[in-house]
Structures are given as C-alpha cells and as structure tokens.
C-alpha cells in the first residue's frame, strides 16, 4: 500500500434518488427558476449527494408539512450509510494489505517497515471512520 492510498478520500457519494414507490409517481410539477437559483439548488443537492429532483421534492414536502426533522434524519442516515460503505471499502483494502504482509512473512521474507506503518495507519483510519458512522447513527435515533 502506498502512502497516497492511505490519504485517499473515502468514497465519492453518488446522487441518490428518492425512495421507491410501489407505483411510479404520476404527477409532475414544473417550476421556473433563474440560472442562479438553479445552480444554487443543484449545488445544494450535490452536497447532499441527491438528485436535484429529490432535493427539490424533499425540501418542498418538508416545507409543506412544516417538518424539517424527517429530512434532516434521512440526510444523516444517508451520510452515515455512505460513511459505513466507505469504511467497508477501506477495510477490504486493509485486509488485502495484511494478506500481502502475511504472504511475505510466510515465504520467509520480512515486509518493508513502511508497509507495516501504512497498514497500521489504514487500520486506525478505518476504525475511526466506523466509530464516526456509528456515532452518527446513534445520534439520529
């Protein structure tokens, strides 16, 4: 594992669609926006890893219901799940590195000390990510 891989950002969140309905949504609402308003909405949606349609629908429904708690909880849950997915991916990388170190030891060689340091740093980063995600999930309860 290289030092750059240990510093690599978790994972890029892909835009999420709204929750699946058993039947396709039939109604469509058209909204007129200025270019600046559209850019602002798309930026806010991208920051939350949501499609613009999901973001607008969630914001409008939240305002209509006078309830920001549900959308905040959904956003926290989405972020926590994304963090856990990134931690799982990082854990798989750590496992791969540890397997390479074990193979080197089993063949009678000694792994390079930098590989051991990098593997340990990756383990610490992964554990911290998992702890953070778990704390976010507990906070949302």
**96 vs 23, 39, 101, 104, CA distance in Å?**
43, 41, 9, 13
Tokens of 47: 């920051």
pLDDT of 36-62, one tens digit each? 999 999 998 888 888 888 888 888 887
pLDDT at 16: 57
Question: What confidence tens digit (pLDDT) does each residue in 94-133 have?
Answer: 888 888 888 888 888 887 788 788 888 888 888 888 888 7
In 10 A of CB 1, how many CB atoms?
A: 19
Cβ(119)–Cβ(94) below 8 Å: yes
Using the predicted structure, report yes or no on whether residue 1 has a pLDDT greater than 50. no
Q: Is the CB of residue 79 less than 8 Å from the CB of residue 137?
A: no
């Amino acid at each position: 594992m290289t030092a750059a891989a240990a510093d690599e950002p978790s994972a890029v969140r892909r835009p999420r669609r709204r929750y699946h309905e058993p039947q396709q949504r039939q109604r469509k609402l058209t909204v007129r926006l200025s270019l600046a308003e559209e850019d602002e909405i798309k930026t806010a949606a991208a920051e939350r890893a949501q499609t613009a349609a999901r973001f607008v629908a969630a914001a409008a429904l939240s305002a209509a219901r006078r309830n920001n708690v549900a959308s905040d909880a959904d956003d926290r849950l989405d972020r926590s799940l994304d963090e856990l997915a990134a931690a799982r991916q990082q854990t798989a990388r750590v496992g791969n590195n540890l397997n390479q170190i074990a193979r080197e030891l089993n063949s009678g060689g000694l792994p390079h000390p930098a590989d051991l340091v990098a593997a340990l740093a990756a383990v610490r980063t992964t554990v911290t990510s998992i702890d953070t995600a778990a704390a976010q999930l507990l906070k949302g309860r």
